Structure 1
Amino acid sequence: MTSSTGSYTTSDLSRKSGDIIAEALRHPVTITQRNKPRLVLLNIEDYERLMRQSDMRAAGTLETMPDALLAEFESAVDAYADSAETSR
């Protein structure tokens, strides 16, 4: 693939690693395998910015939800159900 798109194949990566790394220092570069995007190379500043912006909260289930939050959630669902019934 061409460097103007910022996308390379895994074969390109093995043949042109220096050029691809140099480009990745300027902007993110996509690495494809079998015509599907598989990896993104980006400079450390962009990576650190993304990590700072990411939401680090963990996903859970109703069973693992704290009791106070579960009660708040149930109240909100009940209130929504009540308002949906009265609007009919």
Structure 2
Amino acid sequence: MSKSSGSYSTSDLSRKSGDIIAEALRHPVTITQRNKPRLVILNIEDYQRLMMQSDRRAAGTIETMPDELFTEFENAVDGYAGEDEADH
């Protein structure tokens, strides 16, 4: 969010909706309730960009896996293998 983003109270929504929308088309606008930030209004391009960024997934290999995670993975596999053997 840019430093120039505006901030309005929830009561401003009905009184200044046109101004708020016009400003939100340029940059994110914060809506406060009881002096606490509660909502952000932003244009669709910014929203879509945020959604695309939040869907980035990382892929790795066993070789690049952190040791703690590899140990958890090994224990889980061993646990499942043990359960499978106990069922037969």
TM-score band, normalised by shorter chain: 0.5 to 0.7
The answer for unaligned runs of 5 or more in structure 1 is: 58-70, 77-88
Distance 2:52 2:34 in 1: 32
Equivalence map 1:9-88=2 (5 Å): 9-55=9-55, 72-74=70-72
Q: Which aligned segments of 4 or more residues in structure 1 are displaced greater than 3 angstroms?
A: none
The answer for unaligned runs of 5 or more in structure 2 is: 58-68, 75-88
Q: CA deviation at 1:55?
A: 3.9
RMSD value over aligned CA atoms?
2.8
Judged with a 3 Å threshold, the aligned counterparts in structure 2 of structure 1 residues 35 and 72 are, in CA distance, closer, same or farther, namely same
**Larger RCO (CA under 8 A, 6+ residues apart):** 2
Percent identity, please: 82
How many residues align structurally? 61
Distance 2:34 2:43 in 1: 25
Distance 1:23 1:15 in 2: 14
- After TM superposition, the score normalised by the length of structure 2 is 0.59
- After TM superposition, the score normalised by the length of structure 1 is 0.59
